[in-house]
Structure 1
Amino acid sequence: MAAPICVARIGAAHGVRGAVKLWTFTEDPLAVKHYGPLMTKDGARQFEVTHVREARDHLVATLKGIATREDAERLNGIELYVAREKLPETDEDEYYHADLIGLAAVNAADEPLGRVTAIHNFGAGDIIEIAPPQGPTMLLPFTNAVVPTVDLAGGRVVIELPQEIEIEGDDAQP
């Protein structure tokens, strides 16, 4: 069975009747209502979204069995997952972040650069994080120019390193 996929994170309580702020990581934020029960990563707890509405930069959701502000406050920070099979198939050149984490990163000559440890988005596009066997991690734009090949079946991504890379840390050169 494939690892579950993180689709949302519960935020602070909203109001006094148990609603929570909900940040989703899905293309359609409202899709979280249609996946069925959402679970914690370990599967120990499940949450059913009974009502959801859009707010400025998040959703406001009501979860079955959560009726007070105090109950809602205890959920702050919990990440919610669904089984991979419940998610739609990706289009060509689209990937779930979970599929990329752990892939080998190699250059065009198939020489190892490290492993993909994370995909970030700080608002200006996706960033791929590569951890080499030694030294600081590399944060690179996740674009077709820098990552021309994603080979899920082969377990690797091909990285075309940009001409200039700034590296922070003790090894940085002026």
Structure 2
Amino acid sequence: MSAPQSDLICVGAIAGSYGVRGEVRLKSFCAQPEEIETYSPLTNEDGSQSYSIALTRAVKGGFCGRIAGVETKEQADALKGLRLFTSRDQLPTLPSDEYYHADLIGVEVFDTGGVLLGTVKSVQNHGASDLLELMGEDLKGTVFLPFTLAAVPTVDLEQGRIIADPPEGLF
């Protein structure tokens, strides 16, 4: 079942146990959160462990669910923090203007004049819209670039680069 890491996409995480009968609290990173169940069985990060998941109900901040073989609160507690992955070929094909966060990490970002601004360290979202967290030698710290069409007109994953037109004063 093991797949190369780049072929695995993180679709959720276990937030801890729920109740005393072995149920887990589950955070879904899917666009339609309940769809995480359709990708079951999910794996750990290196693909060495498999987890069959069934959602039982929605709870604040996620879902309550059962994992095959987990019967006690202690077993569920032991899985807290586990990130859950599925293989890329299980996921739907995205429209041309949407990207999986995993595909953006590590991509170099250039300005419209071809000057390297930095590399994407992570994709953050604090409520309004996605932000590309950039790091680079010439940056004093990390810079958060709004991931909007105005600020990021071109994403060329085949060439491994992003062209940005950052707001004035960001760099």
State the TM-score, normalized to the length of structure 1.
0.90
SS at match of 1:34: helix
| Pairs within 5 Å for 1:86-105 | 86-105=90-109
SS in 2 for 1:102: coil
- Between Structure 1 and Structure 2, the one with more strand by share is 2
Which letter does structure 2 place at the counterpart of 1:87? L
Q: Distance in 2 between matches of 1:44 and 1:72?
A: 19
Distance 2:166 2:55 in 1: 46
Matches within 5 A, 1:52-131: 52-131=56-135
Gap runs ≥5 in structure 2: none
Unaligned runs of 5+ in 1: 168-174
Match of 1:146 in 2: 151
Partner in structure 1 of residue 21 of structure 2:
17
Instruction: Give the corresponding residue for 2:40.
Output: 36
Q: CA contact under 8 A between 2:55 and 2:63: conserved in structure 1?
A: no
1:133-152 residue CA offsets vs partner (Å, 9 max, x unmatched): 24311112111111111111
Aligned CA RMSD, in angstroms, stands at: 1.4
Structure 1 position 45, deviation (Å) = 1.5
In the TM superposition, structure 1's runs of 4+ consecutive aligned residues that sit over 4 Å from their partners are none
The residue number in structure 1 matching 2:141 is 136
Contact 1:30 1:52 in 2 (8 A): no
Equivalent residue in structure 2 for 1:26, among 27, 30, 39: 30
User: Equivalent pairs: percent with the same residue?
Assistant: 37
Shift of 1:40: 0.7
CA distance in 2, matches of 1:83, 1:52: 23
Whole-Å Cα distance in 2 between the matches of residues 76 and 150 of structure 1?
35
Distance in 1 of aligned mates of 2:21 and 2:96: 43
Distance 2:56 2:105 in 1: 30
Shift of 1:161: 1.6
Deviation at 1:159, TM superposition (A): 1.1
